[in-house]
Amino acid sequence: MDFRKTTAFFVTVITCLFFFGMTGAKAAEPYNLGVALGLTGAGALYSADGVEGIKLAVEEINAKGGFLGQHKVELFIRDSQTKPDVGVREVKDLILRDKIRAVINDYSSAVAMAVKPIAQEYKVLHIASISNSENITMINPSPYTFQVVPNSYMQAKAAAVAVAKMANQKGWKEYITIASDYEWGRSTQASAVKFLKESAPNLTLKKEFWPRLGETQFTSYITGIMAMKPDFVLGSVASNDNVAWMEQAKTYGFFDKIPYPGSLITVTELQLQAKTLPRNMIALTRAPFFAHMDNPMMADFVKNYRAKYNKYPSDWAVLSYDAVYALKQGVEKAKSIDTEKVKDAMKGLTVDLTRGKLTFRTIDNQLSCSSYTGTIADDPRYPFPIYKDIIEIKGSESERPESEILEARKATK
Amino acid sequence: MDITSLFTQFLSGLTYGTILFLVAAGLSLIFGVMNILNFAHAALWLMGAYFSYTFWNLMQEYSFAFWLSIPLAGFAAAAVGWFLEVVLIKRIYKRELHEQLLITYSIALILSDTIKLTWGVTNKLIVRPEMIRKPVFIFGSPLDSYFIFVILSGAAVAIGLWWFLKYTRYGHIVKAAVYSREMVAALGIPIPRIYTWVFTLGIFLAGFAGGIQAPIGSITLGMDNAIIIQAFCVVVIGGFGSLLGTLVGSLIVGEVFSFTILYWPEGAMVLIFVITAAILIVRPWGLFGTPMRT
């Protein structure tokens, strides 16, 4: 055998293999997806469910080859501890060390707002799936930040529509608010008060209570509110605090004496407080799975989620699952995992999610999604109460007008 | 505002104060006797709440589970406290205060992570027996029926500690050690062993208080962060090491908070910090503390 020919043959083969290998490796480049949620601290309860939803979505997508059928999604999960400084530190680390292309963050709006400029600086997509302060997308907007949860304005308007109807029917005159003393609580309360002023101008706000985030003792608030005898109370108490607030208020017979409409009672509370939650209470939530069981994507999600985690998905699991699928559809529209292209593709994009076909608004990247009110009632199909007589308030009915957003942006410049 | 509403608010302040007293009593006892400012106290309080949940969960089918889980939480936390004292705290008696604070703060962080690893991040909820799910009415004022038990427990702890310090031999030794540990040691009393048991007793109180807190709302990670600040306010106001001071400090904080909420809700917590700061400036040893210690 000619030694030179043989050598040339092997060199050619090895070179080809090397370059094919390179191309192959490039084609299979993974998509690094960061998750920075408040796995400890006040947001632990909701964030843990969010992570479960994300993991399930990623498993399903990877089973089909990943994004665009070839980019496996690799998850990098960090604990923001529901603290802005920790959230920023962890997201920076995810960007610099783990080279993430997108991050789902956070439970706390304060953390999400602190992370927003970091994501913009490093050109990383930032998707808010649990935190819902309107200011995340309204003020100082970032083209990289998207929100898949109804924001505080949308939720407050949805609640106000329901409450105004009741106030007119029952002749209510005075009310009190109690809201967690941080970004989300403050902005939700402010919006609710504004909407009520518009929809029921005869109502008077008698007092505002601001328990701090992480409050465990609500007794003084409860008895104080009861002593003031308002016609009704509007509440925006967050996560873990909401459980403590509800449990303690109930033992004082608070809900039997004072109407408490429009408070956030999500599927988490419905499950956790199944035995003790007051029935016939009118409440509000963000993404209850049972409102969309007629959508095959939701039905499949619930089935798979139950199979994997042996429980029903909370709003936070639904929203975070949707966040991953919204990103997937952005990548598909862009036909690339390049962040700049995906970011542009997601602007104004209509996506198929568990909650139906929904569109990202061009002006603020807020998903035009629904809020849900209903009456808490038992249902034989579930081991916990759900909402009956559900009213779905569409995004188009509850969004802030674009002109107001532009004005707000002008005012903050 | 009518008298019934004011009385209701007084009862709320009383319950809030009692809960703070249960947390702060152990903190004050440990500082008073051992001169250790235990920043990990609230983490052990939280651990007590989780222990209580575990015991309740294990014995759920029995009617006594709810009540028994509370003292058991105290004993379980005490075991952890004993271990910490023997392994770590013993070594920092003679360190500077800031070093003690840093070390106990580190212990608090370690305990928080241990809690997270052991019990997970999901909230725990203890379902109360039917008999304490409704309010009771005292002179027309509603009170969460469980709080009767809380107030009685607070009173029992206060009386028990007072009796222990005043009438038992060990109580006398502990009191003597507060003022002159060298003299007590010179009498042949093993100070290290006394310290170990005082620390264990303090942590028992923390665990017991955690057990009492558990059924009030849900048990969540991070609950300890807020309570430790308030517990420090209580002992600063009342005076470190003074049982009576801790009791009075707790009631002051509870009532000030409760009544300020009616008229100036935003300022309720601020006012407590203002009082604490004022006490620190005017009377740094607190209302019932003693300025001289050796």
pLDDT, tens only, A58-84: 999 999 999 999 999 999 999 998 889
Phi, psi angle pair for A76, to nearest 5°: -125, 110
| Å between B236 CA and nearest CA of chain A | 21
A147/A109 Cα distance (integer angstroms)? 11
Question: How far are the Cα atoms of A247, A281, A374 from residue B17, in angstroms, in the given order?
Answer: 19, 32, 38
| Interface residue of A80, A237, A251 to substitute, partner B, most B CBs within 10 Å | A251
Who wins on pLDDT, B269 or B244? B244
Q: Note the pLDDT of residue A25.
A: 44
Contacts with B266 from chain A: Cβ below 8 Å: 210
pLDDT tens per residue across span B70-95 = 999 999 999 999 999 999 998 888 78
Partners of residue A215 in chain B, C-beta under 8 Å:
226
Task: Show residues of chain B in contact with A220, CB under 8 Å.
Answer: 9, 12-13, 16, 257-258, 261, 268
Closest CA to A137 of A352, A371, A411, A408: A408
Chains A and B form CB pairs within 8 A to the count of 132
Interface test with A, best of B9, B133, B220, B229 (most A CBs within 10 A): B220
Partner-chain contact B125 A247, CB within 8 Å = yes
- Closest-CA residue of A relative to B217 is A244
| Nearest CB neighbour to B226, from listed A82, A214, A273 | A214
Cβ of A210 within 8 Å of Cβ of B266? The answer is yes
Residue B294: band (very low, low, confident or very high) from pLDDT cuts 50, 70, 90: very low
User: What is the CA A285 to chain-centroid distance, rounded?
Assistant: 11
Q: In this predicted model, what pLDDT tens digit does every residue of A7-21 receive, in sequence order? A: 565 555 555 444 444
pLDDT in the model for residue A292 = 97
Name the strand (E) or helix (H) holding B138: strand B135-138
d(CA A296, CA A305): 14
Joined together, the tokens standing for residue A348 give 């104004």
Place domain A153-285 in its CATH homologous superfamily: Response regulator (3.40.50.2300)
Alpha-carbon distance B100 to B56, whole Å?
35
Token match 């089935």: residue?
A303
Q: What residue in A sits closest to B223 (Cα-Cα)?
A: A214
Average pLDDT over residues B113-119: 91
Tokens of A275: 């035995």
Say yes or no for a CB contact (<8 Å) between A218 and B135.
Answer: no
Query: What confidence score (pLDDT) does residue A7 get?
Result: 57
Give the model's pLDDT for residue B245.
93
The interaxial angle of helices B41-58 and B223-238, nearest 10 deg, is: 130
Which of A186, A223, A228, A254 to mutate: most B Cβ within 10 Å? A223
Q: Which of A182, A220, A247, A314 to mutate to test the interface with B (most CBs of B within 10 A)?
A: A220
DSSP state of B221: T
Mean pLDDT of chain B: 89
CA separation for the pair A269, A266 (Å, rounded): 5
pLDDT, mean over chain A: 89
Q: Which CATH number fits domain A27-150+292-371+401-412: 1.10.4030.10, 3.40.47.10, 3.40.50.300, 3.40.50.2300?
A: 3.40.50.2300
**Which of A330, A321, A260 is CA-nearest to residue A292?**
A321
Q: Report pLDDT digits (tens) over B120-157.
A: 877 788 888 888 888 888 888 888 889 999 999 999 99
pLDDT of residue A386: 97
Residue of A nearest to B256 (CA): A220
List residues in chain A touching B: CB distance below 8 A: 39-42, 44-45, 47-48, 82, 207-210, 212, 214-224, 226-228, 240, 243-245, 247-248, 250-253, 272-273, 275-276
- CATH 3.40.50.2300 in chain A is located at 27-150+292-371+401-412, 153-285
Out of A209, A218, A251, whose CB is closest to B146? A251
Which residue of chain B is at minimal alpha-carbon distance from A51? Answer: B121
Residues in chain B with CB shorter than 8 Å from the CB of A45 are 121-123, 220
CB < 8 Å to A251, chain B? 128, 132-135, 144-146
**Is the confidence at residue B103, as pLDDT, over 60?**
yes
User: For tokens 């962060």, what's the residue?
Assistant: B225
Give the pLDDT confidence of B51-75 residue by residue, as tens digits. 999 999 999 888 899 999 999 999 9
Q: For A178, name the nearest residue in chain B, comparing CA atoms only.
A: B265
Kindly report the nearest CA distance between residue B48 and chain A, in angstroms. 15
pLDDT tens across B171-205, in order?
898 888 877 778 888 888 888 888 899 999 999 99
Cβ within 8 Å, pair B220-A208: no
Note the pLDDT of residue A20. 45
pLDDT of residue A15: 53
Cβ within 8 Å, pair B122-A48: yes
Identify the segments of chain A with pLDDT beneath 70. 1-27
- Of B12, B112, B141, Cβ closest to residue A220: B12
Yes or no, beta carbons of A240 and B218 under 8 Å apart: yes
ipTM value > 0.85: no
Q: Do B9 and A224 touch (CB under 8 A)?
A: yes
Cβ-defined contact of B261 to A220 (cutoff 8 Å): yes
Report pLDDT for B192: 86
Cross-strand partners of A393: A371
